[in-house]
Chains A and B, each alone.
Chain A
């Protein structure tokens, strides 16, 4: 890395299929990199303490909390944010399921929940209730009481199974 020794680091990440880069202070959190430097404000900052999961994205195939990662640590990686879920103006089946089942109210936690659901369904096509509970244990929702989130995840699993 040619910028090593510096407090400012060039970070290149493929975000939602597009190569993006910016030179940032090393202490820049990944969530801030996405929001402030790439203008992708769909990834939310909730607690900023590794608890709530509103800042969840998929990095190299796995969910991470972007408030607990410095941007340079993700250099060279591939990220999916909530902005990358819909294609050509069509909602992703997971988004459709959340809308239909009222799996959200205020919507603040929703980007994180959508990506945790995506991560679950990529690994487990027919998750059990227990697997669903475990998959979203790191995503806090203060509105729904989770029941409709559950329904949405089950519905999303069914939708994604269909060819």
Chain B
């Protein structure tokens, strides 16, 4: 018998429907947790940073994994795996959705981790929050009192904390297609594929004419307790011509919005410097894409 890291004991409950999951969550009480792909929750349980008394396994619910485009929206079933999204032609309609999915951790984690689980876990280093904050994104949530739809901005409250009640779960993630003339970029910087990024930046620009920025949305990841909208950076671009000066102003503003912590991935100062560079790069890629250019942009790490 070799050394292996165990989670604390829990009871395991498999459900076949969302209704059944909600009923069980009510019965099992506040210490019970939903498990989907488990790629965030299981490591936390192994480190005993999470000790749920019970797990409600929703992986066997059918019909929660679809990816579809309708009425100007991309809709992802909560159980859509990152790999499903990476390989989906439908999801590629919004390039940053593909780029985000394709860069999360590695193949094995993408095969298992889910978009709904990632958002519901609200890990401050998670990728989806950053990417989806630059779009109009909402989450369909189901609980004992029925259904509600929550905007992503309102959904994530704090690190590992969302508005979800203990007996409520995400069933669908809905992202509105950006308007014509838009382009986006989702860039993340990490030391190697399987780790969480040192930081990530997502940008969506809507351009008018050659280089007038009609609208801008910029979000920062891993530099705060949640993914952050860089609203001052957006204001530095909105209504302006994109040039070296305005882009630099946006990058400087984003640096101020960020609240990085010094940790094993780098000092706070290093992260601010890196952030400014990544914001400039993201704006550049977003602008080129807004002009219809095909640009490859992805997570950056050694050996990619």
Nearest-Cβ distance from residue B29 to partner chain A, whole angstroms: 14
Shortest Cβ gap from B192 to chain A (Å): 8
Q: Is B42 an interface residue (CB 8 A)?
A: yes
- Cβ 8 A contact of B9, one of A1, A26, A49, A51: A26
Given A50-B43, A73-B59, check contact A137 B195 (CB 8 Å). Answer: no
Any chain A CB within 8 A of the CB of B8?
yes
With the chains together, A27 CA to B55 CA distance in Å? 10
Chain B 14-28: CB-based contact to A (< 8 A → 1; otherwise 0): 100000000000000
Report how far A56 CA is from B107 CA in the complex, Å: 10
Q: Shortest beta-carbon distance, B208 to chain A, in Å? A: 35
Bin chain A's interface residue count: 35 or more
* Contact (Cβ within 8 A) B1 A36: yes
Q: Which of B108-116, B134-142, B163-171, B282-290 has 4 or more CB atoms under 8 Å from chain A?
A: B108-116
B68 in the interface (beta carbon within 8 A): no
Known contacts A25-B9, A50-B109, A137-B303; is A69 also within 8 Å of B194 by CB?
Answer: no
Query: A26 and B38: CB pair below 8 A?
Result: no
- Contact B108 A53, beta carbon cutoff 8 Å: yes
Q: Does any Cβ of A come within 8 Å of B264's Cβ?
A: no
Chain A stretch 25-54: residues in CB contact (< 8 A) with chain B: 25-27, 29, 31-32, 36, 45, 48-53
Q: Are A69 and B112 in contact (CB under 8 A)?
A: yes
The listed residue (B2, B11, B106) touching A138 by CB distance below 8 A is B106
Does chain B have a CB within 8 A of A134? yes
B interface footprint on A128-161 (CB within 8 Å = 1, 0 otherwise): 0000011101111000001000000000000000
Structural contact, B38 and A27, CB atoms closer than 8 A: no
The residues of A that contact B105 with a CB separation of less than 8 Å are 50, 138
Tell me whether B109 and A134 are in contact (CB under 8 A).
no
A-contacting residues, B1-50, CB 8 Å: 1-2, 4-14, 35, 38-39, 42-43, 45-46
Does B174 sit at the interface, judged by CB under 8 A?
A: no
A116:B13 contact, CB within 8 angstroms: no
Q: Which A residues are in CB contact (< 8 Å) with B108?
A: 53, 56, 63-65, 116, 138
Instruction: Decide: B10 and A45 in contact? CB cutoff 8 A.
Output: no
Residues of A within 8 A of B177 (CB): none
Residue ID in chain B nearest A6 by CB atoms:
B11
- Give the complex CA separation of A144 and B6 in angstroms: 31
Q: Is the CB of B195 within 8 A of A27?
A: no
The contact of A137 among B7, B45, B107, by CB within 8 Å, is B107
Point out the residues of chain A lying under 8 angstroms from B11, CB to CB.
5-7, 26
CA distance A85 to B195 in the complex (A): 29
On B, residues with C-beta under 8 Å from A are 1-2, 4-14, 35, 38-39, 42-43, 45-46, 55, 57, 59, 83, 105-109, 111-112, 192-195, 301, 303-304
A-B contact pairs, 18 of them (CB 8 A): A4-B13, A4-B14, A7-B9, A27-B10, A49-B46, A50-B43, A50-B105, A56-B108, A62-B83, A68-B109, A69-B38, A70-B38, A73-B38, A116-B107, A137-B192, A137-B301, A138-B106, A138-B108
